Every structure is written in C-alpha cells, then in structure tokens.
Chains A and B, each alone.
Chain A
C-alpha cells in the first residue's frame, strides 16, 4: 500500500470522525482495499453525505444482517467505492433489537432506494425518512412481520396462501392514463411489471413492481449449502453471466480467507469472463434489434454468436453454466488443444462483428430510433449509481476491471469506451466497442497465460467473522458479492447484487417524456437477461430407457419436419 492510499484512508477516517460527531465506534482495514468503519446509526446519513459529496464515493449496496447470535444486535452495512483510489468503504451500524430503525440514506443517495427497501423486507430494519418504503423483495401474499433473512427464520418456511392480494401501486397523475407493460410482455424475457402513465403516447411517469423471480438464493447460501457448493448455485443466478457470479463469489471468499489464486487460474478466469462478455454483447445486440423490429440483426448476431458457445463447450463441457469455479481457483484447466481453435473462432467473430458494426453505423433508420431516445443524463447516472455500459454511455468511466482489478486484469488491462450522449445509440456504440475490446483481451490473455497450477491448496478451515467484498464487471455492469464468513463451513451472510439492480432504477428517469414506442428499446438498452435450454432428454415410459438427443440430431429432426412440409 503506497503513500497516497494511506493519505486517502486517513482522510476518510478524519471525515467520518468529524461527521459522526464522536459516534465513530471503530475503524479497521481488513484488506488493503477495504476500509471498515463502525459508526453509531444516528450519524449514518451525515457520514454518507460527506463520503458522497466530499469524496465522490459511489454507493454500491446495502447489507442487512442479523448478528444477534454473535453481538446481540442487527447490523446494517452500506458499501461504497472510491473508484479512483481503488478502495471500498464499508459503513456498519449496529441496530438494537429494541429499536429496529435507521436513518434512510436515500434522500442523500437516490440510488440506495431499492437496497434500503430490501433490508427492510429481509431483516425488518425500517429506513426512516425513505421516500417510498413499499414492499420490494417479498411476494405480495407474504405475511407481515416474517423476515426471511433473520437467523431464526427457517429456510423452508411456507406461508399460508393469501388470496386476492395485489401489489401496492401508485395511481397515475391527474389526466394521465395507465398502459401496463408486464408482468408478462413480449420483449421482457423475465416477469417485471411496469405501469406507464401516459398522456396520448407521451410518458409522464411510471411505477414498477418486480422481484417476481425471487428464489431465496442468499438464504440457501447461509443456511443449507457449504462454501464449495455455493459456486454452483451462484452460477445459476443468471443464465448469461453465470461464470461472472461464481467468480465473484469465489473471489469474495478467497479474499475473506486470505487465499491466493495461482496466476494461471486467474488468467483462465479472465479468458472465460471475457468470452462471456463477447457472447452476451452479441446476444444483446440481437435482442435490441428485435425490439425495434429489426429481426435481421437478431438472426445474424445470434448466428455469429454460436461459435463462441461452441468453443465454451469445448473448454468446459457446457455451452453455458461451466461449473469451473471453486474456492481457490478452478476445477478444470484450459486444454491446450482448445487454444488454436479459440484463436480461430475469435478471428471469425471479430471479422463478422466488424461487418455488423459497419452495417449499423450507416443505418439511418436505426439512428432515428435510437439517437436522442431514452437519454440518461450524466447527473442522473451519478445519482442513481448506474453501472456498466449505461454508465459509460452517460460519460461515467466506471468499470470494475479498472477500479478494483481482479483475476488477471492488472496484467492485461482493458481500454474502456465511453460516450457522452447518454442515449440508446451511445449504449449501442459502447457495447460494440467493448465487444471488439474483449476479443483483443482474450487474445492478449492467451498470449500471456503462464503454465502452473490452477487451484490453490486449502488446508485450513476458513476462519469465521471475516468480510470479503468482490466485484466483477459483468457484461451489464458491476456485479457485487459480499461475504461474511461463519462457522459450519458456510458463510454467515452472503449478499449478491447483480448490475441490473442498479440500472433498472434508472428507467423511470430515462423514459420520462419519451413515447410508448421508445420504452421497450430503452428498457432493452439497459439490460436484457435470459437463459435458454439447448438439450432435450426423453424417457420412454414403457422401457424406461433414457435417450439424449445431440445438437445435430435435434437440428436434423426439426429440419426434417420442415422438408416434409409438416404442420405437425
């Protein structure tokens, strides 16, 4: 740790002491890049205000946790990042069980809106002064007063069904009517419910209800699974950026336990992460085309994307959900015979991606649909703490690979692309540039990859009561995993924040004053995310014989049907 970092740490401590007016309980530095401040809850908003407005700290996520078995209190943690100084700041406040309230920081940091509503739902600590304390995480028929992330709450609790419940939704302003989008809507791959308030075709406001897909993953992580089982669950958080979540979780545990991943392991992680970005961005480009009716873009980009999936299958055995990560490194090496094939695939993908880029850059109708549409101003992007391509398209140079280098990004740093316009077109341009940059990164990493072990040997138990913060730049922005270690070979608390969590909160500001026709593409330009099944297994019920169809067979069956002119 150099002098400048020490200066920053000293400045933050000074600021916290001054702003908390003597309520600073402790200040520790569990890792070189993490500063952990415990402050009294009365001073929280004041300290946050100082961090954000004086030191330009960026809010990341809040963690609510039930520490009663250990300290007798609940605890609320707010996580911030000082991007230029490569530093995480963790503000923790103990919350006594007799007074389950804390000052809301949303009035100071609008981007903390969902995070605070989430800990209110999960552990029952009420953020006081929150502008919109409605239910966020839990289902509408979930009983009041049942807080799933408290330690004494069983993971398999089944509440009685409650009929006729509805989400609490806002009424439209006078003179406006409601156009519902969702919970199921053609271009939304996952359920989410947007109520658009419109005058004619112009949007004058919107309200939202999401979390229809809540699966209780964090609860499983701290009550049922063990450290080394969680990577497989983490990988299934997302159907597109699975490897990103398993890497991010492993890194958080490795950091908490002080495990050093071998260099080759870090390089392989880098390569797989960038391959995920390549196929994710191609997928996104296709969906964006589809949303505005340009299906040719969809079909062509997905055709280009397919060889990337094949090479991932060659490396890991799976097109997606590789199952390669484990605490300490990887379970599977990059096979030598895959290297030339990978280079060949990259060359082909690069050539076609450039052709697609040139085609869309010159398409005036495409410009008409994306330029000036869904503008997210730099000011709002900062306020809502947007991450990833939407942030970079609004002139914020936020990228976890630069801000908090992990894997091998310190040795093969990416060149990040930014735009200032903040509109949908800018987000297209940023993503296309990133796609080509990722191809370069994989090439560089392949050239520099050292020989050696891929996984660290872990001989001792992971010690309890340590914290680890890890970020990974997913294709959609920064994914965050926070781990607090516990006994029983499992985390005491595992907190996950996917990038969409931050970016979706920007939608209301982004669609304002646009038209209904612009909403799908604006939403699409922030984040689409879905998974798909590629294999089919049939069981003959008479003989109980299992037959697994291969990709080629399935293709042949479906093509045969077409040739027979079949309408089934």
Chain B
C-alpha cells in the first residue's frame, strides 16, 4: 500500500501540481515577451495567476442548462491533468504502466474534443463556427503528432514513451527524430492555439469561437486547461525528442526539462507575435504539407538514420 503511494500516487500528484501551477507562469513569461516585441511594458509575469483568481471568484453564468454542459470545463482541465501523468517530466511518466503512446494521443485529443462539444452546446453561431474550425484543425494536426511519435516508436521498437526516451538517451541524436521533433513543434503551435493558428478562437472574427459563451469560473478552467495543454505538450516534445543530457537525478533532469520548455515556449511566443492569423483552409493546407514532410522522418528511421 505504502509502496503504491510512493511509486505512483506521489509522482502523479507532482506532475499534476507542476502542470497546474507552472502553466500560468509560462503564460506570464510569454505575455511579457509579446509586450516587449510590441514596445509595451506589459502586465507583470504573475498576471495569469491573478486572472484565474479573479475569474474563479465571479458568478457562474451559463447560456444553456444541463449537467453535462455544466461539467465540461472541469472535464477539459481534468483530461489535461490526466495527460500530465502520462508524460515524463524529469523522470519516468508516473502512470506509464496504464497506457502507452496510443493512449497519450487519445488523451491529448480529448481536451480539444471537449472544447468542440462545449462550442456546439453553447447555442451561439460564433461558437458553432469556432467548433467546426477547431474540429478541422484537430483533424489536420493530430496525424502529425502521431507520425512524429511513431518515428520514436519505430526506432525504439516500443510504444511506451519511457522506452522511446531511454532509447534516445542511449543512442543520441538522429536525423529522423530531429525531423519528427520539428514536425511536432509545428503542430504544437496549433495545439496551443497560438498565431498564426488561433483560428478557432479568432477574437476579431468570431469573438473567441467555442468559448464565446464562457465566463467567470468556467472561463477560468478553460483558460487554465489551454495553458496546461501547451505546457504538457511542450514537456512531451522536449522529453521524447530532445532528452539529452540525462543525468538520472530526477530533480536536475526536471530543472533541465523546464529550461528546455522555456526555450520552446519562447519560440512559440515569437512565432505568435510576428504572424497574422491564417484562414482555416490555408492552415489545413499548411498542415497537410507538414504531415507529408514528416513522413520523411519515418523514411529516415527505416534506413536507420
């Protein structure tokens, strides 16, 4: 019983806590960077925490009734916390025994599907448009994540993320994994809902898309979920595709991973700030090209590069 507590429950709790409480901080840093490029002073780095606090303290208004609709924000955040326990952060993923790469892909897609459902359920034309855009984006981005992770699976001959990670640490960098990582990074921009791919939210066109009817605590949970998503997927990227150097000391490895996550998120923020928004058809065309290019990574993996 105690063994279970130490080997599974506590690490799970640690990953969940990291994902929950670090994600607003990274968001704050990204906002500050955005402001700097805008020639603005910008909000303090802690602003996202205050945003969440303020939103959580507001009245809960709903455009439609129903228990499922009411619980969607909580489920969305929960699905991402589940993802956090399936992803290695400095050490092996705590729930790795429960599921492999396939489960990770499903759980990663779950939050997007839940947001799409929220949009369709909220009885607003803007939300419906946003949801259908989100759906199209999901369908064009998900294959890229699958291909990129499959490269690792193919090379390490295992579907377990920890297995891929260990194989990477032992065998060092390879061309195929680098291309896979790049494709994953490009998909991350859309998964995180950043420009030029924030098409589903598109404030100026459809006023926040699927989330247009969300406010107060419900909006807080959705915001939190989005920030958590970008952080956890970032961890997935740096841990699976760029795990070196791996010291074997969990705390140091974690610090290093956090540093790498910061670098990736800074890149995401820079791309976000120097691009206008694409149209949904243009974005889908782009991701179809990325998906085909990422097949090259599989080809390299087959010839052992």
Contact = CB atoms under 8 A, between A and B. Distances in A.
A366 B276 contact: yes
A294 B276 contact: yes
Interface string B248-282: 00000000000000000000000001111111111
Nearest to B136: A201
Nearest to A291: B204
Contacts of B206: 516
Given A290-B204, A517-B199, A562 B43 contact: yes
A187 B50 CA distance: 27
A293 B277 contact: yes
Interface string A351-366: 0000000000001011
B40 A299 contact: yes
Given A201-B280, A365-B276, A515-B279, A296 B41 contact: no
A156 to B, nearest CB: 38
A368 B41 contact: no
Interface in B178-213: 195-196, 198-199, 202-207
Contacts of A368: 278-279, 282
Nearest to A296: B273
Contact of B196 (A187, A365, A559): A365
Interface string A514-531: 011111100000000000
A296 B272 CA distance: 10
B204 A565 contact: no
B288 interface: no
Given A293-B196, A516-B129, A365 B205 contact: no
Contacts of A300: 38-39
A180 interface: yes
A539 to B, nearest CB: 29
A9 to B, nearest CB: 50
A369 interface: yes
Contacts of B174: none
A285 to B, nearest CB: 13
A186 interface: yes
A300 B275 CA distance: 14
Interface in B44-73: 44, 46-47, 50, 54
A292 B276 contact: yes
Given A179-B125, A369-B278, A565-B46, A186 B204 contact: yes
Nearest to B50: A567
B50 A292 contact: no
B44 A293 contact: no
A567 B54 contact: yes
B279 A293 contact: no
Contacts of B46: 565
What's the interface size class on A, roughly? Answer: 35 or more
Nearest to B40: A299
Contacts of B198: 293
B37 interface: yes
A536 B109 CA distance: 49
Contacts of B205: 187, 516-517, 519-520
B179 to A, nearest CB: 23
Interface residues of B, number: 36
B305 to A, nearest CB: 31
B125 A292 contact: no
A456 interface: no
A369 B205 CA distance: 13
A201 B281 CA distance: 10
A397 interface: no
A296 B37 contact: yes
B125 A180 contact: yes
Contacts of A180: 125
Contacts of B202: 293, 517
A178 interface: yes
B108 to A, nearest CB: 25
Contacts of B204: 186-187, 290-293, 520
B16 to A, nearest CB: 26
A559 B41 contact: yes
A282 to B, nearest CB: 14
A86 interface: no
Interface in A452-498: none
Contacts of B129: 179, 201, 516
A295 B202 CA distance: 13
A289 interface: yes
B235 to A, nearest CB: 27
Nearest to B35: A299
A515 B46 CA distance: 38
Contact of A567 (B47, B275, B278): B47
A303 interface: yes
Nearest to A524: B204
A562 B41 contact: yes
A366 B278 CA distance: 9
B277 A369 contact: yes
Interface string B198-231: 1100111111000000000000000000000000
Contact of A296 (B38, B47, B278, B281): B38
Interface string A19-43: 0000000000000000000000000
Contact of B279 (A185, A366, A518, A565): A518
A294 B278 CA distance: 10
Contacts of A559: 41
Which residue, of A290, A292, A366, has the highest number of chain B Cβ atoms within 10 A? A292
Nearest to A303: B39
A294 B39 CA distance: 14
B273 A295 contact: yes
B38 A186 contact: no
Contacts of A289: 276
Given A365-B196, A517-B199, A293 B276 contact: yes
Nearest to A370: B276
Interface in A549-567: 559, 562, 565, 567
B277 A292 contact: yes
A186 B205 CA distance: 8
B128 to A, nearest CB: 9
A290 B203 CA distance: 10
22 contacts: A180-B125, A185-B207, A186-B204, A186-B207, A187-B204, A187-B205, A201-B280, A289-B276, A292-B204, A292-B276, A292-B277, A293-B196, A293-B277, A294-B195, A295-B38, A296-B273, A300-B39, A365-B275, A365-B276, A516-B206, A559-B41, A565-B44
The list of the 4 closest CB pairs from A to B, nearest first, reads A293-B277, A299-B38, A294-B276, A567-B50
Given A293-B195, A365-B196, A516-B206, 19 more contacts: A186-B203, A187-B204, A201-B129, A290-B204, A292-B277, A293-B204, A293-B275, A294-B275, A299-B38, A365-B276, A369-B276, A515-B280, A517-B199, A517-B279, A518-B279, A519-B205, A520-B204, A562-B42, A562-B44
